[in-house]
Structure formats: C-alpha cells, structure tokens
Amino acid sequence: MKVEVKDLKAASDLQLIHGYGEGGFRVTGNRYKGDLLLLTRSAHEWNHPNIDDLRFSDLAPLLGETPPPLFLLGVGGAPMHQFSALSNDLKAHGINLELMSTPSACRTWNVLMSEGRDAAVGLIAI
C-alpha cells in the first residue's frame, strides 16, 4: 500500500469551510452572507438563477478557463430534485456533478481540499 502526502505549500489560501448557518458561511477567516461558490483558492459570492434551472453557462464565468473535473452542489436540505439537465450539461464539459445537502457538501469540500483535489462547490446558504 502506497500513501502519498500532498505538499500544501501556501495552504493558507486554501478555501476551507470553518462554519455555516444563519444564512452564510465562514471560509478561511472570512464571513460570507448568502450563497457561495468556492474554488480551491478563491471564493465568490454566488447570485445564481433559480437553482432548479441552473446550467453550465451560469457557472462558467466563475469556474475559470479550465474548470475543475468535479462540481459539488449543496442545495440546502436533502436534495429533492435530480438536476438531470445540469448533470448532463456539466458532463458535456468534462465535469462530474455530486449533489448533496449543504452540510454534507461543506464536509466533503474540506476532505477534498485536504487531499489536494481539484474541485468546485456551489453552496446554498441555510
């Protein structure tokens, strides 16, 4: 069994979630009110359209020139919608969608960051 430890040089700018609730998030020492989209090293307040109608074109300006291969979507409570159109749209651009509650997305995001993974997360505030 081989174990590889990622060297997190300049880890201080990793966008780690330290708390959520009361309509916002605490990320790497900053408080954000409302919904949020995180990349490995940047945070964006996120004014999305109706979440049920979300498409890649709504996310593309925030994901950069080379979008990460994984997009987590924390939809508040337990997902009640499958987001098939969004999943297909992202898949066409080489991005996998993982759909979950906002608390689960926050926990999963921090694990992915600790593993040095390339991903993005869209978080609906609770």
| Each residue's pLDDT tens digit, 55-111 | 999 999 999 999 999 999 999 998 888 899 999 999 999 999 999 999 999 999 999
What pLDDT does 8 receive? Answer: 47
Q: Check residue 65 and report its DSSP letter.
A: S
The architecture in CATH of the region 34-123 reads: 3-Layer(aba) Sandwich (3.40)
pTM for this structure?
Answer: 0.88
Sequence ranges of the domains in the chain: 34-123
